[in-house]
Amino acid sequence: MSNLVNVPKNGSLVNTNSNQNFPSLSNWFDDLFNRDLPSVFASNFNTGITLPKVNIKETADAFIVEMAVPGLKKSDFCVTLDNQVLSISTEAKAETEHKEENYIRREFGYSSFKRTFNLPESVDDDQINARYDHGILNLLLPKKEEAKQKPARSIKIS
């Protein structure tokens, strides 16, 4: 029982029965995550497209998908439907060349993403359409006629 560590009220895990100065567990984690990363990670390593945000709205007649992806062309996108799974992906490649006095510097860039969505059975997959305007990819997923919400009606009592 003499090997137990006293835990003070502040929750620090410092062994007070030892003559060694051990950092608390929280100080160790702080040091681990706050130290500088090697320069290879601190450089412009992650300059590609991050996973774009999506808004999905349901109306009585359709589902509307809006994806914010500015800076691309509509030809950059690949939208597919396979077995009720809608996939939206893109690959963007960029190459710039700067000519200066005695050397040429070339910079290559490559980024991609893929988002997939399981569509409900109520979507009429033959009528899906997409358009890209001002950095927003819009997809209209119409519902099948039998799945559309019908307006309220009055029922006559006999």
Residues of the chain with CATH 2.60.40.790: 54-147
State residue 86's pLDDT score.
93
Give the range with max mean pLDDT: 31-35, 49-53, 126-130.
126-130
Token representation of residue 66: 């809006």
126's CB contacts (< 8 A; 6+ apart) are none
State residue 66's pLDDT score.
96
pTM of the model: 0.57
**Is residue 62 predicted with pLDDT exceeding 90?**
yes
Tell me the HSE value of 82 on the side-chain side, using a 13 A CA sphere. Answer: 6
**Is residue 128 predicted with pLDDT exceeding 90?**
yes
Fold of 54-147: Immunoglobulin-like (2.60.40)
